[in-house]
Copies of this chain bind each other. A is one copy, B any other.
Amino acid sequence: MSPPPASTEELEQELSAATISKKQLKKDARKAEKARKASEQQQQPPPPPQEEEDDPFAANYGDEEIQSKAISGRSWTDIGDVDETAAGHSVLIRGFAQTIRPVSKKMGFVVLRQRRSTVQCLLVASADAGVSAQMVRFAASLTKESIVDVEGIVTPLKEPRKDLTQLVEIRVSKIYCINRAIPTLPLNFEDAARTKAEFEAAEQKGVPMVHVHQDTRLNYRPIDIRTPANLSIFTIEHHVESKFKEFLFSKNFIGIHTPKLIGGSSEGGASVFKLDYNGQPACLAQSPQLYKQMAICGGFGRVFEVGSVFRAEKSNTHRHLCEFIGLDAEMEIKEHYFEVCDIIDGLFVAIFDHLNEHCKEELEEINRKNPFEPLTYLAQTLKLTYEQGIQMLKEAGTEIEPMGDLNTEAEKKLGRLVKEMYGTDFFILYRYPLAVRPFYTMPCYDDPAYSNSFDVFIRGEEIISGAQRIHTPKLLRERAIECGIDTSTIRSYIESFSYGAPPHGGFGVGLERVVMLFCGLNNVRKTSLFPRDPQRLTP
């Protein structure tokens, strides 16, 4: 049984992966037009406060332009660092104005946010503090999400506030607006940031809450990515990539870069973007496959690459993108492609351990937004043969064509069966039928209907494909022809194996998918900063 989607929001987003409603598109277009007009109006400088001349404290507030006029020597404190230890001291901070709350003519609050940290700033008109009623009014007139500088004394909060990360308040002595946001944003930060618990609480009280459509989020991504959950997703993505490189470097791999503009198609198939390259027909690489293999022929021993991968996919699913980041590795093998599996085992266990240890807060933020079960994995990764997998499915009532491939549904089911039986969300399935693998895959020595290949799964979704590759030009050419590839377009690739080529294998992973599945997210668009799918080319 497939688990039910966790919330209305998720349901909407699942739907949105499959189709963008015309209504939504129109709505977004109206919003965009409104935003454009508002932005033009906003460009008029705000009217100067009438009382400015009468205000002895006029220098303590106002709009300020940052144009590299001078270096004042003042130093700004990160909002995340403003805590009890600074109590009684003056600090200078800059942030997005998340909340503006006037209380009276003489008092008001502004909450500033920097990355995932928020702090409350209190303005109280007082001649002693150099704060005028005009200054309080100025603060009240700020628009949400404007960039604001505040100087003031740090004071502990009387009681902790669940909606703020910092347990102190700043008694404002100076406040400047650095860059004003338009008054009506096309997407409200609070709506974008609202957590599952907040939705449920509102529902219980019968208060209607805005559910932000996935496409609206993506259309106004510079606002959407300000939310704590989204900042956390991209921080985790950074960590996955860093750990990938660090681990492989420690195992004697070096990082390379291979061309994305290539003649011919990298691995055949229809899903390739074509273009004109100074008069020559060219296409965008669907993977660094052929080039990372040529680096191995070049004697590099072990290589990895982190780079853009392009697929002219037509399929609108929750897991396909037309452009994504590939984490690829290729290595000499001495005897057996299990040497590659061993690297994957060590690498991914190291990545998962690292995330659980070093990204606790980020995982909690994501969990608050969309609750998920932590990934379970074994210290030594489970390996099953493809035949064993099929047998497990058969015993559970799902018949699979033994020499065919698993479809998404069968993969999901197998993931659940493996979890029940072995207690892991992460496992390797190896010895796939040759017919379902790319032409450069090495056949099995004992049965050429099978191949020295494997896939790796997280939560029942395939995230890694790998194999031993063919390293002799004769077999490589034969297999390419059998698979219907025009060998003239990959001539230099095939010939590389005539110049002395070590036996080798490797694998490729999609960065966005790893993060999506580790964090239990339901859509790969959530883990791509500016996703590209069959419809979306902007922003």
**Which segment of A166-174, A238-246, A376-384 sits at the interface?**
A238-246
Instruction: Determine the chain B residues whose CB is within 8 A of the CB of A535 once the complex forms.
Output: 278
27 inter-chain pairs at a CB distance below 8 angstroms, sorted by A residue, are A39-B498, A66-B334, A67-B442, A68-B337, A72-B335, A115-B299, A146-B500, A178-B502, A179-B503, A181-B498, A186-B499, A221-B298, A222-B294, A222-B298, A222-B496, A225-B295, A226-B298, A234-B254, A238-B254, A238-B255, A238-B256, A260-B308, A261-B322, A277-B322, A277-B537, A278-B312, A307-B307
Judge if A91 is at the interface, Cβ distance under 8 Å. Answer: no
* Minimum distance in angstroms from A372 CB to a CB of chain B: 22
- For A1-40 the 0/1 string (1 means CB < 8 A from B) is 0000000000000000000000000000000100110111
Judge if A406 is at the interface, Cβ distance under 8 Å. Answer: no
Instruction: Determine the chain B residues whose CB is within 8 A of the CB of A235 once the complex forms.
Output: 254
Interface residues of A (CB under 8 A from B): 32, 35-36, 38-40, 42-43, 65-72, 74, 76, 94, 96-97, 113-115, 144-147, 178-179, 181-182, 185-186, 219-226, 231, 234-235, 238, 241-242, 245, 249, 254-263, 273-278, 280, 282, 284, 291, 294-295, 297-301, 306-308, 310, 312, 314, 322-323, 325, 332-338, 442-446, 452, 468, 471-474, 491-493, 495-503, 511, 528-532, 534-535, 537-539
* Minimum distance in angstroms from A440 CB to a CB of chain B: 14
* Minimum distance in angstroms from A322 CB to a CB of chain B: 7
A304, closest chain B residue (CB)? B238
Assembly CA distance A329 to B415 (angstroms): 40
Our pick among B186, B261, B338 for the contact of A71 (Cβ within 8 Å) is: B338
A221-B294, A261-B310 known; A70 vs B300 contact (CB < 8 Å): no
Assembly CA distance A72 to B336 (angstroms): 9
Our pick among B94, B182, B307, B442 for the contact of A308 (Cβ within 8 Å) is: B307
* Minimum distance in angstroms from A309 CB to a CB of chain B: 10
> Which of A260, A280, A498, A532 gathers most chain B CB within 10 Å?
A498
Instruction: Determine the chain B residues whose CB is within 8 A of the CB of A219 once the complex forms.
Output: 492
Our pick among B256, B493, B498 for the contact of A529 (Cβ within 8 Å) is: B256
